Structure formats: C-alpha cells, structure tokens
C-alpha cells in the first residue's frame, strides 16, 4: 500500500493531495499546471512537501512530524520524466545500468539485457540517446526506471511527446506492463481517454486539490461535482428539481427538457424538491430517436464534421430559457444542418445526478 | 637564450589552472541553481578580480600574504613565506584567472537540464556521483572552455605577479615580466623572442578552445537531428 497525504504551498495554489493505491495503476488526471508533476516529485523525493506523510507498506519515506525525509537516492522510485531525461552522454546500456551500480557486473549485465529484451529494444544497446526516436527514448526511459525494480513507478505524461501513431502502439505495450512489473504505478496525464484506458483507478486534480478519486468507472459514471464532470469531458450539465423518487430511479424536472428519468445509483440519497445538477456525456445522447420518456425536440445550432461522424451543438428551449447541448453522432450518412429540428433521447442509464449540496 | 621564463610561465599557468579548475568548479556548483540572500554579493566577490586592475589585486594579495598580513604572519611563523617565491606567481595567476573559470562553469552548470540530475537521483546516485557522472560531463564543453581561458589568462598575468612575486630571474620571472624588463633594459631582440613564444603558446590555447567550441556545436546539432521512428524495432 502506497499512502500519500501531503501539503505544499506553491506560488499559484496550495497543493493538497491525499491518495492511496495498492499495487495497481492509478491515473492522476488534471489540466496542465494543476500540481500533478509536483505530486510525483514529492513522492520521488525530488521536492519536499511542507507537511504530510508518505508511506509505502510499513516504511515511511516522508513524515514532517517525525522529521523523516528520505533522500531520493534511498527511495529509488522509478521515474519516467515527460521528456524522458535520458543521459545524453551515455549509451542506452549505460543509461539502463546507471541505477544498478554496486552490484556484481554479471548481475548488472543480466538485468540490463533482461529488461531491454522485455521492452523489445535489445538491439539499441550501444546507441546514444540522440540517435533514438521518441518511441525508443520512451522505452529506454521505462527500462531505466524499471531496471532497479522500484517499489513505485511514476510516469509523468509519458505519451505527450509522441505522435499519435507511435502513441497508440506504446499505450498497448504499457497495458502489458503489469505482466512484468508488480508494483504501485502512478500515471500522470491530462488526457482523459488515455487515463481511462491505462489505469484501474483515477484521481482528478485541479489547482492542487484532489476533486475525486476512485475506480475509473465510478469517476466517469458518477462525477462527484460539476468540476469533475467538466474535467472528465462532460459537456452537458443542466439543473433540475427532483419530483419523484422510486427505488431504482429518480424523476427530475428540467425546465428546458421536461421531465427526465434517471437510473438511481446506490448510496445516493435524494429528497423530493431538491435542486440538483444532472449531466450526460456527448456520446450518450441519442440523436433522432423518440421514446415515451426522456425525449425532447431540439434545434441544431451548428454541426461540426469530424473524421468519423459529426459533433452537433443543440439548443433546447421552452420559450423562456435555452439550454445548449453537445452530442456526437458516428452516423454521418444523414447530416443535420443548422436550424433543423430533431428528436433526442437521453437514456436513463447514462444520465447522472450530482448532489450540489456536497 | 635563457628558457627559464618560459618554463616558469608554463609551470605557473598549469599550477594556477589546476587550482582554479577545482575551486572554480566547486564555487560554480555551489552557486548554480541556488538562491540565497546575498547571492549577488558573493557572485560579485567571485567576479571582482576580473574587473579590478591586476595591480589592485596584487596590492590586496600583498596585504593578505605580506609580512604584516593575516595569512602572511602565519606563513612567516611557519617559516614558509610566500611573497617573492614561485608560489606567489601561482597564487597571483590563480586569483586573477579564477573568475573566468567560475563564470564559464557556472553558466555551463545552469544549462544542464535539472531533470537529468533528478533522474540520476531517483536511480540511487549520491550528490557526489550526480555531480561527477552527470553534471560535469554535460557541462564539459563550457567547463573546458573556462579552463582554457583561465590558462591563457594565467600565462599573460603581469601586474599582480609583479606586485606579489616580484621579478626574480630564474624564480618568479615569467615571460610577461621578462619582456617588460628586457624592453626596459633596451634588449629588444630578446623581448621579441619571448613575444613570439607567448604568441605561440596563446595561439595553441585558442586553437584548443575553438576545438571545444566546435565539439559543443556538433553535440547540439546531433540532438536536434530529425529521427524517424523505425518500423522494424517498435512493432515487436
């Protein structure tokens, strides 16, 4: 178990991060400059928190009250930097062997060759870093971080410097990481899709604060508040009043859309008449479908053609107020033009309710 | 022709560069990437010998190492006075050339990407190992340029050397002093010999410096090379 609970005053905000993870991949998702990288550096011992606690299993890496602050070289957290930070004056072999000093040379050789083989970069052994492509650099950085068998692997935006083709291939490989690395993995990114694909748990951070953390499905399906919803890509948020409560579903009255049924998730306690925020992801709104409930007629305000399908901006109106919605449709055969009217259906299973009072 | 001034000059310049090299490296490492109250004051103190007239530096050193100076008294008591000895030429040259080494090394250290040093730390390297295995090699072109400049400056040192070490032929008389006193005594031909000697040594130093600069440029150039992703190695 890796447990982190740290506070650090930064020029723009106060970093307050508390999270725990247990031999799993946890993604830290947040916009740039939110304190993600600083969090990793605090864990690795490269930055010192003002106060807090970092423990790994039964050992303490940092404890401001007991004045414990293990230096980075003794923590030996595997760190893959955003720009990979390969030593430009050392060959691939020497880069990977750098952290293995003090072991018998036969063991060093075996370990380096082993990890290079696992990552499929065996034949790059004698290359210098400036003769490597971005993808190769990333693998070498990963090999170097893993060679010393660290207890924690920290990945700082490992894909941000790669083009999309290389990126998707390396992502697939990182998914297999768990086959040969059993440890805590903390993975920092600003890309939601990437975070979801690669991790089992997610933490959403903004301006130094952890807004929500948990299983990835939970974070995506049940954002804790409006900020989490927005940061995880929810474009459609609207306020409503709860007008009916049943065991498995809740009925909301939304001014612009009429009444909506929402599937009720466990442990969500609501009261009749309570004002709440409801939301749905762009991809979950069904365009051109009319059902007995959860349907509305909306006007298309504009249509952006994508590589596959379209993104529509819609406007729902009841005469008094207007609501802007966004949806995407993979079906490009029938393109709706601005000004056209169409039916939409909001599936109860994909709608979620945010308790504004929390 | 008496070759003594040449040997004394080279010996002095080498010894002074050696001292300056390690002191400059240590000072540069301490000052680079660190922020403390009075930093610019310390920095100014390190650079001072570069902007002061060498005679002023020499006067200061005389005050320090002279018979009545704080360090001088101690050395006299130990029976090893420094003033008017060969050591004095080394001290004078080292002090005057120190700012060149310090400035070049500091600028070079500040260019080293902090994450490279951080990466070494997370890989279990001590600060000592980070310094010698990462910082120094990566800052090497700048450090080497500083050392060559310091060597050239030591070789040409005149004012402070004359003040602290005097002009004792065969002991403290370096080439610049020999030239001055040869001209003063009307031995122009002798002076010319030494002038040519200085020209030769300085030229070699500058060629060495340019060689370093070019290497630096080549390193930079190869880093920005565009390298396409190889399809053969990444797919498996």
A174 shares a domain with A44: yes
Name the token pair of A165.
Answer: 């083709």
Least confident of A304-308, B125-129, B183-187, B208-212: B208-212
Task: Say if residue A241 is in the same domain as residue A350.
Answer: yes
**Concatenated DSSP letters of A266-297:** TT----TT-EEEEEE-GGGSEET---SSSEEE
Average pLDDT over residues A225-241: 87
Long-range contacts of B73-81 (CB under 8 A, 24+ apart): none
Greater pLDDT, B158 or B214: B158
Q: Which of A130, A135, A165 sits opposite B222 (nearest CB)?
A: A130
**Residue A327 pLDDT greater than 80, yes or no:** no
- A70 and chain B: CB distance < 8 Å anywhere? no
Query: Which range marks the domain in which residue A282 is found?
Result: 235-354
The ipTM assigned to this model is 0.85
Cα–Cα distance measured from residue A132 to residue B33, given in angstroms and rounded to the nearest whole number: 29
Chain centroid, CA B40 distance in Å = 21
Residue positions counted in chain A: 358
Whether residues A115 and A223 share a domain: the answer is: yes
Q: Distance between CA atoms of A109 and A112, rounded to whole angstroms?
A: 5
> Any idea what DSSP says for residue B53?
-
Nearest to B5 by CA among B153, B169, B155, B201: B169
Which of A44, A72, A135, A157 to mutate against chain B (most B CBs within 10 Å)? A72
Number of structural domains (chain A) is 2
Cβ burial of A100 (10 Å; 0-12, 13-18, 19+) is buried
Residue contact A81–B223, C-beta within 8 A: no
Q: Are residues A224 and A88 in the same domain?
A: yes
> Given an 8 Å threshold on Cβ–Cβ distance, is B122 in contact with A132?
no
Considering only residues A271 and B234, tell me which one the structure prediction assigns the higher pLDDT. A271
| Structure-block tokens of residue A245 | 């409560």
DSSP 8-state secondary structure symbol assigned to residue A238:
E
pLDDT tens, A302-314? 888 888 778 888 8
Q: In the prediction, which pLDDT does B228 show? A: 38
- Are residues A253 and A323 both part of a single domain? yes
Q: Please report where in the chains the tokens 């300085």 appear, as a residue.
A: B202
- Residues A15 and A158 placed together within one structural domain of the fold: yes
Mean pLDDT value of segment A91-105: 91
More confident residue, A140 or A342: A140
Closest to A294 measured CA to CA, from A262, A266, A268:
A262
Q: Are A249 and A261 in contact (CB under 8 A)?
A: yes
Measured distance CA(B189)–CA(B128) in Å, rounded: 52
Cβ burial, residue B188 (10 Å; 0-12/13-18/19+): exposed
Q: Which of A148-162, A255-269, B16-30, B98-112 has the lowest mean pLDDT?
A: A255-269
Summarised one tens digit per residue, pLDDT across range A14-35 is 999 999 988 889 999 988 888 8
Cβ of B229 within 8 Å of Cβ of A130? The answer is no
Task: Point out the residue among A72, A135, A165 whose CB comes nearest to the CB of B122.
Answer: A72
**CATH number of the domain located at residue range(s) B4-226 in this protein:** 1.10.3720.10
**Number of other CB atoms surrounding residue A113 within 10 Å:** 14
Specify the pLDDT at position A319.
Answer: 65
**Boundaries of every domain in chain B:** 4-226
CATH number of A93's domain: 3.40.50.300
Q: Which secondary-structure segment (H or E) carries A345?
A: strand A341-345
Please check whether residues A72 and A189 belong to one and the same domain. yes
Kindly state the helix (H) or strand (E) to which residue A17 belongs, with its residue range.
strand A14-21
Contact B122 A71 (CB under 8 A): no
Are residue A218 and residue A263 in the same domain, yes or no? no
Contact by Cβ (8 Å): A17, A62: no
Mutation test of the interface with chain B: which of A123, A125, A130, choosing the one with the most B Cβ atoms within 10 A? Answer: A130
Residue of B nearest to A144 (CA): B123
pLDDT band at residue A291 using 50, 70 and 90 as cut-offs: confident
E strand or H helix that includes residue B29: helix B4-31
C-alpha to C-alpha distance for A337 and B85, rounded to whole angstroms: 95
| Same-domain pairing of A219 and A336 | no
Q: Rounded to an integer, what distance in angstroms lies between the CA atom of residue B86 and that of residue B90?
A: 7
| Domain closes at, from A167, A195, A230 | A230
Q: Could you tell me if A193 and A258 lie in one domain?
A: no
- Which one of A41, A89, A145 has the shortest CB-CB distance to B138? A89
Of the partner residues A98, A101, A123, the one whose CB lies closest to the CB of residue B233 = A123
Beta strands in A141-263 (DSSP E): 152-156, 184-189, 201-206, 209-215, 236-245, 249-254, 258-263
Q: Which residues contact A103 (CB under 8 A, 6 or more apart)?
A: A111
Is it the case that residue B229 has pLDDT exceeding 80? no
If you search the block for the tokens 């948020």, which residue do you land on? A237
CB A169 to CB B235 under 8 A? yes
Structure tokens at B133: 């295995």
Q: For residue B226, is pLDDT > 60?
A: no
């Amino acid at each position: 178990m890796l447990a982190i609970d740290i506070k650090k005053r930064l020029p723009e905000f106060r970093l307050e991060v508390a999270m725990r993870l247990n031999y799993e991949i946890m993604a830290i998702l947040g916009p740039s400059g939110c304190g993600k990288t600083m969090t990793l550096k605090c864990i690795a011992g490269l930055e010192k928190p003002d106060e807090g606690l970092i423990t790994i299993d039964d050992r303490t890496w940092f404890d401001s009250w007991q004045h414990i602050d293990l230096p980075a070289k003794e923590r030996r957290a595997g760190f893959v930097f955003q720009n990979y930070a390969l030593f430009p004056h050392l060959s691939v072999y020497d880069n990977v062997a750098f952290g293995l000093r003090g072991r018998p040379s036969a063991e060093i050789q075996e370990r380096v060759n082993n990890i290079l083989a696992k990552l499929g970069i065996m034949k790059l052994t004698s290359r210098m870093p400036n003769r490597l492509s971005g993808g190769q650099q990333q693998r070498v950085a990963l090999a170097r971080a893993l060679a010393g068998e660290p207890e924690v692997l920290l990945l700082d935006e490992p894909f941000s410097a790669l083009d999309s083709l290389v990126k998707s291939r390396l992502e697939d490989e990182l998914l297999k990481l768990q086959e040969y690395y059993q440890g805590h993995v903390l993975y920092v990114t600003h890309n939601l899709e990437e975070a979801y694909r690669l991790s089992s748990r997610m933490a959403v951070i903004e301006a130094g604060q952890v807004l929500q953390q948990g299983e990835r499905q939970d974070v995506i399906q049940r954002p804790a508040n409006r900020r989490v919803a927005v940061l995880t890509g929810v474009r459609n948020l609207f306020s409503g009043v709860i007008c009916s409560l049943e065991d498995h579903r809740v009925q909301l009255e939304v001014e612009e859309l009429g009444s909506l049924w929402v599937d009720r998730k466990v442990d969500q306690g609501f009261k009749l008449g309570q004002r709440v925020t409801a939301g749905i992801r762009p991809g979950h709104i069904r365009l051109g479908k009319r059902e007995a409930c959860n349907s509305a007629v909306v006007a298309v305000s504009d249509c952006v053609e994508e590589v596959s399908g379209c993104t529509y901006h819609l406007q729902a109106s009841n005469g008094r107020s207007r609501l802007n919605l966004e949806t995407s449709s993979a079906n490009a055969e029938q393109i709706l033009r601005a000004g056209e009217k169409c039916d939409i259906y909001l599936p109860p299973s994909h709608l979620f309710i945010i308790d504004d009072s929390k | 022709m008496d070759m003594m001034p040449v040997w004394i000059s080279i010996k002095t310049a080498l010894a002074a560069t050696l001292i300056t090299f390690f002191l400059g490296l240590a000072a540069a490492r301490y000052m680079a990437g660190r922020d403390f109250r009075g930093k610019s004051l310390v920095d100014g103190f390190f650079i001072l010998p570069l902007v002061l007239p060498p005679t002023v530096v020499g006067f200061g050193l005389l005050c320090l190492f002279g018979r009545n100076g704080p360090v001088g008294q101690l050395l006299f008591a130990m029976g090893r006075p420094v003033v008017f000895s060969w050591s004095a030429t080394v001290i004078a040259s080292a002090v005057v050339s120190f700012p060149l080494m310090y400035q070049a090394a500091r600028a070079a250290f500040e260019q080293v990407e902090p994450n490279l040093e951080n990466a070494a730390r997370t890989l279990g390297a001590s600060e000592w190992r980070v310094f010698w295995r990462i910082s120094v090699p990566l800052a090497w072109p700048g450090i080497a340029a500083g050392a060559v400049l310091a060597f050239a400056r030591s070789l040409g040192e005149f004012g402070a050397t004359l003040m602290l070490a005097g002009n004792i032929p065969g002991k403290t008389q370096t080439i610049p002093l020999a030239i001055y006193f040869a001209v003063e005594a009307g031995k122009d031909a002798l002076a010319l010999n030494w002038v040519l000697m200085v020209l030769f040594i300085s030229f070699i130093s500058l060629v060495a410096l340019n060689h370093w600069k070019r290497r630096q440029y080549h390193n930079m150039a190869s880093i920005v090379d565009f390298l396409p992703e190889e399809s053969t190695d990444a797919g498996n």
